[in-house]
Amino acid sequence: MRFVVSTLVIAALSFNPLFAVEKGEHRAAEAFRHAIEVQGLSPEMLQMGIEEFLELTPAKYREITGERLGFKNTMKLKAAQKSLKKELRKEDGISKGVYILLAILGLAWLAMGIKSNWSGSDWVVNLILTLLCWLPGFIHALVKMKDYYK
């Protein structure tokens, strides 16, 4: 039975377009799968996305399934949500402090490239601004920092 449930979770998350290519999204999908498997939560939770799972309460579960969750399963749900939130807070690549330090040193374009997996044009724009004069590149890096860190 556990094999069937884990296979369904893997299949559901593998074909879900919400969990596409990004490393962070892949890590979140793995954490979501792990949270459901470890806590032994119900199959109805397999169809949920990450955001919907994080917003799930016992009252919402009762609306969805028509069954009470119970104290033990409520605690399992809260533990799974807490571990998923913790996993989502982990940072990819470099920390915020290192990002700021690189921005001060004029290497913010490097940090932006690493954080965006060298896609997009933010790091190129920052490189040009940094080469023109350090201050515009530094300001651009601080403004764009909100895109990389939440």
Write out pLDDT tens, residues 68-121. Answer: 888 988 888 888 888 887 777 665 678 888 999 999 999 999 999 988 888 889
Place of tokens 């069954």: 67
For the chain, give the mean pLDDT: 75
Alpha-carbon torsion (42, 63, 56, 79), positive or negative: negative
Euclidean distance between CA atoms 36 and 127, whole angstroms:
43
The confidence score (pLDDT) of residue 87 equals: 76
What's the one-letter identity of residue 62? Answer: R
The confidence score (pLDDT) of residue 41 equals: 61
Q: pLDDT tier at 15 (50, 70, 90 boundaries)?
A: very low
The confidence score (pLDDT) of residue 29 equals: 65
Q: Write down the domain spans for the chain.
A: 2-89, 96-148
Q: pLDDT tier at 2 (50, 70, 90 boundaries)?
A: very low
